[in-house]
Chain A
């Protein structure tokens, strides 16, 4: 089955800085890669996704890049704000990475 690795486990940045979270996956058949944000006491919510026929996708301050050959994809958040503080999960073939706790310091 699919195995998703995610790094780093924790990330602390100053407000306004960029944050990058990286994931690798094992199953070359995976073709859909969502990123979820989980706030305390809530279920995961999709923030951006990418399909295997696309190398990059952007939505305002959030972007995702995909390298199918290397089997890795990354989440980029620019101009971070305190409300971006949460746990972020990548996923592939319905399997989640271990999560990254992002803290944005004002």
Chain B
């Protein structure tokens, strides 16, 4: 158990809908990262927040947005869902923002999103 929690574990929805995924980082961690992993694909970095502020953006679609709240939990909002958005969505957390170099990301169990 990494200490990172994600809800829900599974989500089934229809095309065109909107969903919200939630992540609580490990106690003491200030950074939250969101990743997408499609079936048999690598991890795709979406976005990072550090202490409430957006720190880095990866290949995140305009239909997707995220935020980190004052209590440091984070939410990833996915809207106008398409079949291709079906994937595992992981949240990871780390103490710092990538510095020092030893700053290690610990992953939550993921949310499996199925768009029908």
Is B truly associated with A? no
Instruction: Give A contacts to B, CB under 8 Å.
Output: none
